[in-house]
Structure 1
Amino acid sequence: MSQESDQILKDYYSRTANDYDKLQLHENDEHYNALKILLGIITDEEISSVLDVGTGTGRALLHINQFFPNINYRGIELIPELREIAISKGLDAEKIDLGNAAKLPYPDNSFELVTAFGMLHHVAEPQSVISEMLRVSSRGIYISDHNIYGWGSAITKTGKRLLRNFFGQRLSGLILTKFRGYYVTDYDGVFYPFSLCDYLPQIQNNANIEFIFSTKGYSTNLYKQSSHLAVFATRKI
């Protein structure tokens, strides 16, 4: 993330922290759907420890802890104001760290499962965060985020995929953002033209992708039709 975009992001979430839940969280939204599936994974895999990267106001960890009160949880969040709200909701302050997702302050294999909900599209270099998630995970990772190629009207979706095919991920992203590299909005601060699909090869090279699915509506082609996706991958042994 550039210094400019980093500061814009921090300023936005510091300013809007008290309204974050109202602006960003909705019942049965895409990340809530991903959370419901995650509960089954935790049960089936008998997960005993989890790290949530980009904890925000604590939605994911609170939901997990509600159903698994004995799970060993930890979170890390970049924005102090969002972290404070997560703690005010009942999360243990000693378990919610302030820090950068691209430089996780934990040893290798520290947590059985590492999760990220809707945070990678706010990061200039998602591959760095994914690498860190894989490093500190002993068993698997779970990511819920955007797929820009399945977002918008049929014409818009086709146009974005054509740009990606002809110019590659980086240049097409610059074209879509009018060469700024990122979007600045009043509803989600700074975010990048992100698709989880672009990072599946990285995940597959370092883990076994168990499944990937749409978290927002029905789709017969995830890449072309689904605006939001989730992936679960287990570490290679």
Structure 2
Amino acid sequence: MAERPTAVLIHGLFGFNRFLGMEYFHGARALLEGIGLRVLTPRLPWAGDIMERAQALAGQLANEPGPLHLIGHSMGGLDARAYISHLQGASRVASLTTLASPHRGSSAADHVCATLSPFALFRGVRALTRERVQAFNEITPDAPGVCYRSYAASRPLSELPWLTRRYARVIAQHEGENDSQVSLASACWGEHVATLHADHFELIGMQLWLNPWRRRARFDHLQLFREIGQWILAHAGANRSLQQ
């Protein structure tokens, strides 16, 4: 067992560990380490499907001592669920916290595949249609003993980056409120901790809002990770007390 609780940051579709000096989870690793956690940042196939990415995750965690506390953004939350339920992850995972993960798929992915967009060529995009994720859910029950928590996010269309509004409109038409990539209904899984006033990318510190004529309130993603980290510390401490 690791002396410090171990948090695992799992990136989403088209994600990365570090690219051109930029972290996917901008500043989160340093913050979590600063409050006393050990932090891992596995690198998954950036456009792979759920099981391909889950297998990569399992390989990189194979020699890590548990218990592990997984934090998955977007598709990373589904990869984590697959790892837990299908690849023996349940024996070493204590909790999974998901951030705007499409637990019921995304009508944005449906739209991309239906319109023959070039993005439909990627297995990861096709894996996130509502039909495919429903099939995934049917064979991926939650594991007993693992704490599942989720955060959803939403902003009005006028506060979303213009690059993402096309998808936000599609999701709003079919599923309702959303963060431009994932609806509130799809993002909730297990204990729904909160719905955050943020777009999909702000949750990891990525700013796509480029309108110089209109300001919007910034979302403090580091405060979110501080909150998650403090919960992990408290959860790990409570489990140690029960084991003594």
Decide: shared fold, TM above 0.5.
no
Scaled by the length of structure 1, the TM-score of the pair is 0.40
Scaled by the length of structure 2, the TM-score of the pair is 0.39
Structure whose residues are more often strand by fraction: 1
